[in-house]
Amino acid sequence: MFQKTATVDALREIRATAWLALPLVIGHVSAGLIAFVDNLIAGNHGTDTLAAVTLGTALLWLPMLVPIGTLIALTASVARLHGADRISEIGPVFRQALWLALFMGGVMFAFLSLAPALLAPAGIAPQMIPGARDFLHAVRWGSPALTLFFCMRYLCEGMHWMRPTMILSFGGLLLLAPMGYVLTNGKLGFPELGAQGLGIASASLMWLQALLFACYLWRGKRLAHLQLFSRFDLPCRAGILDLLKVGMPIGIAILTQGSLFIVTSLLIGRLGSTFLAAHQIAVNLAQLCFMIPVAVAEATTVRVGHALGRGDFRAVRRAAYAGCVIVVVAQSFSMLAMLLGNQMIAGWYSSDLAVTALASTLLLYAAALQFPDGMQMLAAGALRGLQDTRIPMWLAIFCYWGIGLPLGCLMAFGMGWGPQGIWAGLITALTLATVLMGWRFVHRSREATTVTQ
């Protein structure tokens, strides 16, 4: 009887997590499709344009990973307050998070202004630098809007309200595709701007999404009881430090993983535009498939945080296992798509035969990456729900930078494997991270359950 009840509870949790994650999946996949469309537009404009956008995007996301990770602490905090029925405390926490988001957006703008100067000393092929510089100088103007958007999004996710993220992300895809195509290729009377055109389109979209999200929170009825804009709060040192205490380790952990992919792109950029364009095709598709585990991990953070807030520690573990089941199913489909359709997919991005031949090979490595990539993200999301962020940060640093990058560089440059060696290092790092973070969650959740018995 107990076993039957446990099975029923597990199935209910899977269904609840899936319904919570579905709007996030649509929103994240839409955001991933924006990058996919950007790469299609850039690749069809030219191999050098695709390589320039690849470099520019890498340097865009390098500073963006810290605010994305740091501000996600708002999701866990709001979910915990919501679960504990401390609704009146959510508005003040959100207003402090807005100040933190603005500050981080300013730091990001400054970094992107200086980043182009790093390309030549890094040994990047000279023909790719002008396009990457133009892309960065255009897209940097959207930095504050992007950090504010994530802040508002994480608030809604903590309140189990995912629809705004879904609608705005999908709407952004519908707008960016034609805007980017027109500005990149010089259609409808506009000059042909190449990579700069995609940067202008991206920055414009960031501001539009942030403004629409703010209007929704200000005028909408769904979250009106939170009184988010009922008063103006000056920055509070204690409130911001509380967010940073939980969020900064998350930001650093996400930076260590994301920057691993970014640094590998910069390393491969030293080999030339053909190698970098092929690498970007595999990375772009892997990132698109990664959007589903990201969404499920965020839903798991909410479910775990909510269960933690109400003191139900068995529900904490059920939420993590439910997310695990969903990720395994989703990544199975992603892996099969890459294994069976690698040549066809590579052909979508470019007509350059040298690029597509190498990209189709790298997509096989990307297929092998699917399970460890998805499962380590799910484990990290479950740990965020427990507000366990410091040890996972050190685990991430060890796996990605202590193991993955040195091993990848050894195989790529020391053993002559080229980009395939970099991907082998990535697979090793993510597999190790999955094992260590999964063990960490099992240990922490068992410890919490034992304490309450």
Residue-wise over 147-184: b if at least 16 C-beta within 10 A, else e?
A: bbbbbbbbbbbbbbebebbbbbbbebbeebbebbbbbb
> Which whole number is the average pLDDT over 429-449?
82
Q: What is the pLDDT of residues 312-355, one digit of tens each?
A: 677 777 888 888 888 999 899 989 988 888 888 888 777 778 88
What mean pLDDT value characterizes the chain? 80
Q: Is a pLDDT exceeding 80 seen at residue 377? A: yes
Distance CA 285, CA 290 (A): 8
The DSSP code sequence of 395-446 is HHHIIIIIIIHHHHHIIIIISS-THHHHHHHHHHHHHHHHHHHHHHHHHHHH
pLDDT confidence of residue 421 = 87
Q: Is a pLDDT exceeding 60 seen at residue 3? A: no
pLDDT confidence of residue 452 = 43
User: What does the block give as tokens for 297?
Assistant: 């991990």
143-158 helix and 47-71 helix, angle to the nearest 10 degrees = 50
Q: Is a pLDDT exceeding 60 seen at residue 184? A: yes
User: What does the block give as tokens for 3?
Assistant: 């076993």
pTM listed for this prediction: 0.70
Distance CA 301, CA 254 (A): 15
Q: Which residue has the tokens 């096989």?
A: 364
Going from N- to C-terminal start, the domains of the chain cover 2-452
